[in-house]
Structure 1
Amino acid sequence: MTDETAQEFYGRWARLYDLIARRTPGIPPLRRRAAAACRLERGDTVVEMGCGTGANLPYLREQVGPDGTVVGVDFTGPVLERARELTAEYDNVHVVRGDATSPPVGEDVDAVLATFVVGMLEDPASAVDDWCDLVGSGGHVVLANAARSDAWYAPPVNAVFRAIVVLSTPPTTKLRYENEPHLRLDRKIDTAHARLRERSAAIADETHVFGVVRLTGGRIA
C-alpha cells in the first residue's frame, strides 16, 4: 500500500474512524491507561506517533497539565483536521503533518506513545529504535496494538478481529489475500513490542479488550 493510497483511504473514513476510536466499548479506558503508562509529569513533553483523529491527545494533556506540551503526528490531512477540531480548546496541544518514522519534532521529548500504528509500518522495529533514541535514557515509549488473542476464548474473538483487519486494509473489496493481513499484522506487532522490551530497563506488559489489545510500556535504558 502506497502512502498516497493510505492517505486517501484513511482520509475518506476520518469521521467514521473517529467515532470508532472514541465510542468502541473498552477503548476509552485503554486510551487513558496508555496515557498513564507514559509516566508523564506536569510540564513534560509527549509525542504521539500516528495520532489519527486525536482520541488520545486529551488524555495525554491531562497527564502533562497546562504547562506541558502534547504533539500529535500523522500523515493524513483530513484526519489531522479532525484532530485539530477536537483539541482546539487546548493551547498546548499541537498536531503536525508528518511521518511517524521520521517525525518533525526536536529534542527534549519525555515520552512517545504509538497506538494501533506499528502494524502499518514497513519496518516497525526500526521505528521503535528511532522513538527510543528520541526520548533517550530514562524516557518512556508506550505501544498499544491489536493482534490475535491467546486467551482460551480466542477463536470467536480472533474471527471478528480478522474481519475487522480485512475491512480496514485498503482495498476493502478483497476477500482473499495471498498474505493474510491479520497474520502480517501479528508479525509486525510482535517485532515492535519485542524491540521495545530489548531497549527498556523497566517494562510493563498488559492485555486489554478480550486479550486482543497488547500494551507495552518501557523506560528506555
Structure 2
Amino acid sequence: MSASTSGEDAREFYGRWARLYDLIARRTPGVPALRRRAAAACRLEPGDTVVEMGCGTGANLPYLRERVGPEGTVIGIDFTGPVLERARELTAEYDNVRVVRGDATRPPVRGDVDAVLATFVVGMLEDPAGAVDDWCDLVGPDGHVVLANAARSDAWYAPPVNAVFRAIVVLSTPPTTKLRYDDDPHLRLDAKIDAAHARLRERSRAVADETHIFGVVRLTGGRVGDGGYSSH
C-alpha cells in the first residue's frame, strides 16, 4: 500500500502493529467470509495471475491461491517490511505465492495480470481514483478489479455502527499520538473510497456492488471494458 501519511510514520505504525493487525484481519467475525467473497469476485480461473495491492499480512493470499490453483500465480504487494515478513511466513507453504515490497500506486508488476484485488487500501492513497485507473490499465480489457473498503453505513441501525467505525478510523490513522485533526479522518476516508469505487464503475462494463458487515464494508467488482475513462 502507499499511505497518504507516507514516510516513516506510516511504515513504523503498520510495522509495529503487524501481528495484532494480522490477528484482527483473520479473526474478526465476518471478515474471513468477506475475504472469500472478495476472492470470488475476482472471477479467477485455474492458471490465472492475480495481484493484491496492499496485501498487508497476507490474509487474502490463501483465498486467491485457492482460486488460481497450483498452476496460477498470486502476487502480494505492500510497502511495510515487518508486515511483509508476516505475509511471507503465512504463505511459505505455497510455491506460487510471491510477496513483494513496493508501492500500490507504482506496482512492480508487468505482463499478463488477470485480476487486481485491493482491500482496505484506497483510503490510504493520495489519489485513489488515479490508482484505480492504473490497476484497470494493468489488467486490461476483460480483466477484473475488485475493491473492498470500510466506510460509514447508511443502514437504519447506522448511528452506533458509525460511531464505532469513526473511533476505529481515528485510532488506526498514524500517528496514533495525534488527538486532533484538521478534519475528521473518517470523512476523508469516505471521500476517497467514494472516488475509488466511482472510478471503477466508470472503467468497467460489468459491475457488482455489495455491502457486508452491518453495511460498513463496500465491495465493488468490475470487469474492465475497452477504452473508458482514464485520467492519464
1:42-81 equivalences under 5 Å are: 42-81=46-85
Partner of 1:195: 199
How far apart, CA to CA, are the structure 2 residues paired with 1:202 and 1:62? 24
Residue matched to 1:87: 91
1:163 corresponds to which residue?
A: 167
The correspondence for 2:107, drawn from 103, 126, 129, is 103
Amino acid at match of 1:178: D
Structure 1 residues 84-116: Cα deviation after superposition (integer angstroms, max 9, x where no partner) = 000000000000000000011111000000000
Alignment of 1:125 onto 2:122: no
Per the alignment, in what secondary structure is the counterpart of residue 46 of structure 1? strand
Which residue in the other structure is 1:214 paired with?
Answer: 218
Tell me which stretches of 4 or more aligned residues in structure 1 moved more than 6 Å.
Answer: none
SS at match of 1:39: coil
RMSD: 0.6
Q: TM-score, normalised by structure 1?
A: 0.99
TM value normalised by structure 2: 0.94
Unaligned runs of 5+ in 2: 226-232
Q: How does 1:145-164 map to 2 (within 5 A)?
A: 145-164=149-168
What is the deviation of 1:5?
Answer: 1.4
Match in the other structure for 1:18: 22
Q: What letter matches 1:111 in structure 2?
A: A
SS of equivalent to 1:214: strand
CA distance in 2, matches of 1:3, 1:126: 20
Matched residue type, 1:120? M
Counterparts of 2:7 and 2:55, CA distance in 1: 16
Equivalenced residue count is 221
TM-superposed deviation, 1:174: 2.6
1:121 partner letter: L
Q: Give SS of 1:128's match.
A: helix
- Work out the CA distance in 2 between the residues paired with 1:139 and 1:196: 12
**1:172 deviation in Å?**
1.5
Q: In structure 1, what is the Cα distance between the partners aligned to 2:63 and 2:54?
A: 15
Counterpart position of 1:179: 183
